[in-house]
């Protein structure tokens, strides 16, 4: 009787391999993350050893060439291809890099497939594109393409879940760009497990990576996410690819944000803003004006914050509602801001300003579905809360940015000059900002933008100095 092959175990969080199951991973120290995978074979995928056959940099196959001195290493410029979508090019750092592999993830129904199909239509005019779908038939893709107005002579569609047949079409079509929607639907007959399992996703991604590097094909892979918002499948999936993009937003809202969390060929400090419409995704080149559209005038509990997403300053509306509650059982709810941050701000206001809100319900919301994860919005949150408590509106021409400390001080934030320029550009007449940033914005006083849209700058060193 033939002896059955023995599988190996690997950690789905970091990719650490072991000959037997382990309760805790020796590498990342995670518990109960080891799963069994079959031993790597030279099958149809042509990948032996899975991800281990690809260099850590993702640029060359392991074992190619010899070690060289860094000073003598060849230096080449990576060719980039514009996607035809400026917001996406901004996130990617200038466009798609030839031979790279990009992972695009997001919640179901957020618009990942719509964006990929629109991208295919934009690129197909100058490059050959192969759109592989494991979730829709060619007829469904055609119907959606007609609705979106997508088409092109160089756009090929292929509905298939078997990765071996996909590679056959790659050889026949010889595309410059390939889109796989989605990686969880693809399967390899040489790998144990069903489509979407850890072993399938791991091995297929490794083979796609090797194909992209060897043939210079730019590959975009769509990935599903779990309940907690992380990419489904082994964590090593994110380590293997060159770029990881998250498509964020609420399905009930029209705005979507493309955020880059990893990029080997560019910065991870950029975001792209899109608006979902009946005819697809529209770019939002001026998100500040868009997010402030329809803002109530002279309404208590509303303030404008200037936040920084990457290198792009954006103005968003922060709303707060403070109301009475049953003593000893107040509610704290927030949307778009960190709950712990809100609790800290409320404690500072209670202690330093003497506001009696310990037994009040507190609700804070960032309009437009935007999530703020930087402390520069603290001052605007304070302005909205104080306005709601006193039932005194914040003047419509005011904008805020600044971080709040536990002693009530207003601390400096980064890129104050960019924030102030955006506030002045949109015509706001008054800006509240940290006193510690005064030197950083001195040059703006002399700028032409400052002369065209004069604004009063009020420097705040402590919350007690905040006056409307």
The answer to whether the beta carbons of residues 9 and 20 sit under 8 Å apart is: yes
Is there a domain that residue 62 lies in? no
Task: Report the pLDDT value the prediction gives residue 47, as an integer from 0 to 100.
Answer: 40
Which of 230, 257, 283 delimits the end of a domain? 283
**Residue 86 sits in the same domain as residue 178:** yes
Backbone torsion region of residue 432, taken as left when φ is above 0, otherwise alpha when ψ lies between -120 and 50, otherwise beta:
beta
**Residue 326 sits in the same domain as residue 419:** yes
Task: Report the pLDDT value the prediction gives residue 58, as an integer from 0 to 100.
Answer: 40
**Residue 127 sits in the same domain as residue 23:** no
Task: Report the pLDDT value the prediction gives residue 59, as an integer from 0 to 100.
Answer: 40
Burial of 184 (0-12, 13-18, 19+ CB in 10 A): buried
What string of pLDDT tens digits covers the 468 residues of the chain? Answer: 344 445 677 777 666 778 888 888 887 778 887 877 655 444 444 444 443 333 333 444 444 568 889 888 887 777 888 999 999 999 998 899 999 999 999 888 889 999 999 999 999 988 999 999 999 999 999 999 999 989 888 999 999 999 999 999 999 999 999 999 989 899 998 887 778 777 788 889 999 999 999 999 999 999 887 666 666 566 778 888 999 999 987 767 788 889 898 999 888 878 898 998 888 899 998 888 888 988 888 899 999 999 998 778 999 999 999 998 667 788 899 999 999 999 999 999 999 999 988 889 999 999 987 888 899 999 999 999 999 999 999 999 999 999 999 999 999 999 999 999 899 888 899 999 999 999 988 887 666 555 666 788 999 999 999 887
Is there a domain that residue 66 lies in? no
**Residue 394 sits in the same domain as residue 454:** yes
Half-sphere exposure of 195 (CA within 13 A, CB side): 14
Which of 218, 248, 283 delimits the end of a domain? 283
Is there a domain that residue 63 lies in? no
DSSP H helices, 9-162, are 86-92, 112-123, 138-148
Instruction: Report the CATH number at residue 207.
Output: 3.40.50.300
Task: Give dist(CA 239, CA 27) in Å, integer.
Answer: 15
Task: Give dist(CA 253, CA 251) in Å, integer.
Answer: 5
Is there a domain that residue 50 lies in? no
**Residue 193 sits in the same domain as residue 87:** yes
The answer to whether the beta carbons of residues 399 and 308 sit under 8 Å apart is: no
* Residue in the block written with tokens 């109301």: 323
SS3 53: helix
Is there a domain that residue 56 lies in? no
**Residue 195 sits in the same domain as residue 326:** no
Which of 283, 314, 347 delimits the end of a domain? 283
Greatest CA separation for the chain: 88
| Vertex 87 angle, CA 81 and 91, to 5° | 70
Task: Report the pLDDT value the prediction gives residue 36, as an integer from 0 to 100.
Answer: 75
Tally of CB atoms within 10 A around 36: 15
* Residue in the block written with tokens 């037997």: 20
Domain that includes residue 191, residue range? 79-283
SS3 84: coil
Identify the bridge partners of residue 133 per DSSP, sorted by sequence position: 159, 181
Burial of 360 (0-12, 13-18, 19+ CB in 10 A): buried
**Residue 310 sits in the same domain as residue 172:** no
The tokens describing 315, both together, are 């103005």
Is there a domain that residue 46 lies in? no
pTM: 0.75
| Strand residues in 201-331 grouped as ranges (E) | 218-223, 243-248, 255-263, 271-277, 280-283, 302-309, 312-324
**Residue 233 sits in the same domain as residue 192:** yes
Task: Report the pLDDT value the prediction gives residue 76, as an integer from 0 to 100.
Answer: 72
The answer to whether the beta carbons of residues 246 and 223 sit under 8 Å apart is: no
SS3 267: coil
Is there a domain that residue 401 lies in? yes
Question: Phi first, then psi: what are they for 129, rounded to 5°?
Answer: -120, 135
The tokens describing 129, both together, are 């594109």
Is there a domain that residue 88 lies in? yes
Sign of CA dihedral 226, 230, 231, 237: negative
Task: Report the pLDDT value the prediction gives residue 14, as an integer from 0 to 100.
Answer: 66
Task: Give dist(CA 9, CA 136) in Å, integer.
Answer: 33
Domain count, the chain: 3
SS3 444: helix
Task: Give dist(CA 214, CA 211) in Å, integer.
Answer: 5
**Residue 254 sits in the same domain as residue 298:** no
User: DSSP secondary structure string, 363-378?
Assistant: EEEETTS----SGGGH
**Residue 163 sits in the same domain as residue 307:** no
SS3 47: coil
**Residue 276 sits in the same domain as residue 300:** no
Q: Per residue in 187-214, is it b (16+ CB within 10 Å) or e — as a string?
A: bbebbbbebbbbbbbbbbbbbbbbbbbe
**Residue 198 sits in the same domain as residue 317:** no
Question: Phi first, then psi: what are they for 340, rounded to 5°?
Answer: -65, -35
Instruction: Report the CATH number at residue 359.
Output: 3.30.230.10
């Amino acid at each position: 009787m033939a002896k059955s092959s023995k599988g190996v175990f690997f950690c789905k969080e970091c990719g650490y391999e072991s000959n037997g199951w382990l309760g805790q991973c020796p590498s990342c120290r995670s518990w109960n993350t080891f799963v069994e995978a079959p031993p790597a074979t030279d099958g149809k995928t042509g990948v032996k050893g899975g991800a281990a056959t690809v260099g850590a940099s993702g640029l060359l196959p392991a074992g190619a060439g010899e070690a060289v001195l860094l000073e003598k290493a060849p230096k080449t410029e990576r060719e980039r291809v514009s996607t035809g979508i400026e917001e996406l090019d901004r996130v990617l750092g200038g466009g798609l890099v030839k031979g790279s592999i990009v992972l695009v993830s997001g919640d179901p129904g957020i618009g990942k497939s719509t964006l990929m199909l629109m991208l295919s239509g934009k690129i197909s005019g100058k490059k050959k594109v192969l759109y592989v779908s494991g979730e829709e038939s060619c007829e469904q893709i055609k119907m959606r393409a007609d609705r979106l107005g997508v088409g092109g002579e160089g756009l090929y569609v292929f509905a298939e879940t078997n990765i071996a047949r996909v590679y056959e079409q790659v050889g026949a079509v010889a595309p410059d760009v390939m889109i796989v929607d989605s990686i969880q639907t693809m399967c390899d007959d040489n790998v144990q497990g069903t489509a979407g399992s850890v072993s399938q996703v791991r091995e297929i991604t490794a083979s796609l990576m090797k194909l992209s590097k060897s043939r210079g094909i730019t590959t975009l892979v769509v990935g599903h996410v779990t309940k907690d918002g992380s990419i489904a499948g082994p964590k090593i999936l994110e380590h293997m690819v060159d770029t990881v993009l998250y498509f964020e937003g609420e399905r009930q809202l029209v705005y979507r944000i493309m955020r880059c969390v990893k990029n080997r060929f560019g910065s991870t400090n950029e975001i792209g803003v899109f608006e979902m419409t009946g005819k697809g995704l529209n770019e939002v080149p001026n998100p500040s004006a868009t997010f402030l559209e329809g803002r109530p005038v002279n309404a208590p509990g509303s303030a404008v914050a200037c936040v920084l997403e990457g290198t792009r300053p954006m103005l968003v509306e922060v709303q707060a509602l403070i109301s009475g509650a049953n003593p000893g059982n107040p509610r704290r709810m927030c949307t778009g801001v960190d709950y712990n941050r809100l609790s800290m701000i409320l404690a500072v206001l209670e202690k330093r300003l003497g506001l009696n809100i310990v037994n009040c319900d507190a609700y804070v919301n960032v309009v437009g579905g935007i999530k703020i994860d930087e402390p520069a919005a603290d001052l605007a949150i304070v302005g909205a809360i104080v306005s709601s408590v006193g039932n005194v509106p914040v003047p419509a021409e005011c904008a805020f940015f600044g971080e709040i400390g536990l002693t009530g001080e207003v601390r400096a934030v980064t890129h104050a000059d960019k924030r102030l320029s955006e506030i002045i550009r949109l015509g706001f007449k008054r800006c509240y900002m940290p006193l510690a940033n005064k030197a950083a914005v001195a040059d703006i006083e002399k700028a032409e933008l400052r002369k065209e849209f004069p604004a009063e700058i009020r420097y705040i060193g402590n919350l007690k100095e905040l006056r409307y």
